Structure 1
Amino acid sequence: MKDLHTNTPLVTRTQGTGNDLVFLHGWGMNSGAFTSFIPYLTNSFRVTTIDLPGFGENAQHVPSPYDAESLAQMIAPYIPPESIVVGWSLGGLVAQRLALIGKDFKGLALKGLVTIASTPRFIAGPCWPGIAGDLLAMFESQLESNYNRTLERFLAIQAMGSDTARQDIKAIRGHISEYPEPDQHALKQGLRILSTEDLRQDIGRITVPTLRLYGRLDSLVPTSGIDRICELHPQADTVVLPHAAHAPFISHPQQSADILFSFASSVYQQKAS
Structure 2
Amino acid sequence: MKLNRIVIPSFNAQNQANPNLTLIHGWGAESRVWEAWATEAFSKDYTLTLIDLPGFGDSPALPNSPTLEADWIEALVATMPEKTHLLGWSLGGLLAQQIALQYPERVTRLICLASTPRFTQNDGWTRSVSPKIINDFIKAIGLEISSVLKKFWRLQLQGADDSRALMKALTKHMSSRKIPSIVPLNQGLILLKDMDNRDQIKHLAMPTLWLLGERDPLIPQDIRLNLADLQPNAQIDILAGGSHIPFFSHPKETAEHIQTFLNQVDPKPHAKL
- Output aligned runs, 1:71-150, within 5 Å: 71-103=72-104, 109-128=106-125, 129-150=127-148
2:15 maps to what in 1?
none
Displacement after TM superposition at 1:149 (Å):
0.7
Q: Which amino acid aligns with 2:171?
A: R
* Superposition map of 1:231-270 within 5 A: 231-266=229-264
What is the aligned partner in structure 2 of residue 3 from structure 1?
none
> Shift of residue 173 of structure 1?
3.3
- Residue equivalent to 1:197: 195
- 1:180 CA drift (Å): 2.6
TM-score (structure 2 length as normaliser): 0.88
| Equivalent residue letter for 1:113 | L
The residue type paired with residue 89 of structure 2 is: W
Shift of 1:57: 0.5
Number of aligned positions between the proteins: 259
C-alpha distance in 2 between matches for 1:85 and 1:267: 17
Contact 1:10–1:61 (CA under 8 A) maintained in structure 2: no
CA distance in 2, matches of 1:194, 1:80: 25
> Taking structure 1 as reference, are residues 195 and 210 closer, same or farther at Cα in structure 2, changes over 3 Å only?
same
Q: Which moved more, 1:135-144 or 1:167-176?
A: 167-176
The corresponding residue for 2:6 is 13
Check 1:268–1:16 CA distance in 2 against 1; reply closer, same or farther (3 A cut).
farther
Alpha-carbon distance in 2 for matches of 1:176, 1:63: 27
1:24-61 residue CA offsets vs partner (Å, 9 max, x unmatched): 11111111110331212212211110001121110444
Counterpart Cα distance in 2 of 1:171 and 1:45:
27
Sequence identity percentage: 30
- C-alpha root-mean-square deviation of aligned residues, in Å? 2.0
Report the CA distance shift for 1:16/1:254 in structure 2 as closer, same or farther (over 3 A). Answer: farther
Determine the C-alpha separation between the residues in 2 that align with 1:142 and 1:66: 24
Q: Is the 8 A contact 1:16 1:43 kept in 2?
A: no
Residues 132-167 of structure 1: CA deviation (Å, up to 9, x unaligned): 121111111110111111111111111000003223
CA contact (8 A) 2:20 2:49 kept: yes
Aligned to 1:151: 149
Gaps of 5+ in 2: 11-17, 269-273
Task: Measure, in 2, the Cα distance between the counterparts of 1:269 and 1:58.
Answer: 38
